[in-house]
C-alpha cells in the first residue's frame, strides 16, 4: 500500500497557484488602475486651471485618450507579469482570465448607467486581455532565457 509521500499533490498546488495568480493579478490591476485614476484626476485639475490662464494649451485634451490607452496597457502588462510570477504554469490562460475579468469590469459601470457601449469601451475591453497576456508571456520568455543562460535565437546575421 503506497504511503502519503507517493500521493500526487502537484495538481491541487497548480490549481491553487492559478487561483492566487488570477486574483492577485486582478486586484493588482484594479489597485494600479485606481492609483492611475487618482493621478489623472490631479493632473486634470491642474490642466484645467492652466488652460484658464493659457487657452492655447487646450489642444492637449485630444491626447488624453491616447495617454489613457497607453497607461491602461502598461498597467495590464504589469498585472500580467505579476500573474505569471504567481503561477508559472498555464500563464496564458491565467493572464487571459485576468485581462478578461478586468476588461469586463470596465464596461459594467457604463452598462449599469444605461450608456451605450462606445468604440473606446470596446477597445478597452480588447486592450486588457491582450496586454495582460503579453505581459505574462513576456515574463515566461524572460524566465526561459534566464534559466538557459543563452541569448535568444534571432534571424539577424552574426
What's residue 151's pLDDT? 56
Asked if residue 36 has pLDDT above 90, the reply is yes
Q: Is the pLDDT of residue 48 over 60?
A: yes
pLDDT score for 149: 63
Model pLDDT, residue 158: 47
What percentage of the chain carries pLDDT values higher than 90?
42
Higher pLDDT, 154 or 27: 27
Q: pLDDT per residue over 96-151, tens digit each?
A: 999 999 988 888 876 776 777 778 778 888 999 999 999 999 999 999 888 876 55
Distance CA 68, CA 120 (A): 10
Model pTM score: 0.78
Amino acid at each position: 500500500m503506497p504511503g502519503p509521500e507517493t500521493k500526487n499533490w502537484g495538481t491541487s498546488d497548480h490549481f491553487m497557484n492559478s487561483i492566487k495568480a488570477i486574483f492577485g493579478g486582478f486586484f493588482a490591476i484594479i489597485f494600479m488602475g485606481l492609483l492611475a485614476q487618482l493621478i489623472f484626476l490631479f493632473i486634470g485639475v491642474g490642466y484645467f486651471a492652466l488652460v484658464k490662464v493659457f487657452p492655447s494649451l487646450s489642444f492637449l485634451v485630444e491626447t488624453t485618450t491616447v495617454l489613457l490607452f497607453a497607461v491602461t496597457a502598461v498597467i495590464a502588462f504589469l498585472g500580467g507579469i505579476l500573474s505569471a510570477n504567481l503561477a508559472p504554469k498555464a500563464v496564458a490562460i491565467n493572464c487571459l482570465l485576468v485581462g478578461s475579468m478586468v476588461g469586463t469590469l470596465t464596461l459594467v459601470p457604463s452598462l449599469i448607467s444605461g450608456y451605450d457601449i462606445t468604440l473606446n469601451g470596446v477597445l478597452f475591453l480588447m486592450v486588457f486581455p491582450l496586454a495582460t497576456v503579453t505581459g505574462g508571456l513576456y515574463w515566461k520568455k524572460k524566465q526561459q532565457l534566464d534559466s538557459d543562460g543563452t541569448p535568444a535565437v534571432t534571424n539577424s546575421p552574426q
